[in-house]
Amino acid sequence: MARLTINGTVRDIDVDPNTPLLWVLREQAGLTGSKYGCGVAQCGACTVHIDGNPVRSCVLPVSALSAEQQVTTIEGLSKDGSHPLQQAWLKLDVPQCGYCQSGMIMAAAGLLKKNPKPSDADIDAEITNICRCGTYNRVREAIKLAAS
């Protein structure tokens, strides 16, 4: 059993404590915006926030979390897609296949929280998520648009 606070709602979830958070989000909580890419904390498709900080949920067992910690997924970033990053993503048509983009946005939200006006170098250093379509230039421009 795990008690988690996901997008502001406390949930008791009947699950093996070693289960990675990503699977609980997708399978038990029905929040499928966070994606499985590599499963070894490399690609970032599974990025969510714990207390506002980006983490790769594919390698985080739910036993490492308490109900006092706030888990935020892409579904919880805004209720209606109005977050400045989501708006910038739409305006600049950032996604190609789209698979990695929720993780990209969550990583970008973490970056803007600690650095509201990041340079290209800051973005490149912080956003280590992988996009097989190569949308990196548009990701960079969207982050700067959201920050403006």
Give me the residues that bind ligand FES (CB under 6 A), please.
36-39, 41-46, 56, 58
User: Min. distance of Cβ 93 from ligand FES in angstroms?
Assistant: 24
Q: How far apart are CA 109 and CA 52, in angstroms?
A: 9
Q: Residue 36, class by beta-carbon neighbours within 10 Å (0-12 exposed, 13-18 middle, 19+ buried)?
A: middle
Q: Specify the residue, 37 or 110, whose C-beta has the smaller distance to ligand FES.
A: 37
Closest approach, Cβ 140 to ligand FES, in A, equals 20
| Minimum gap (Å) between residue 145 Cβ and ligand FES | 25
Looking at the Cβ atoms of 41 and 67, the one nearer to ligand FES is: 41
50 versus 67: smaller Cβ distance to ligand FES = 50
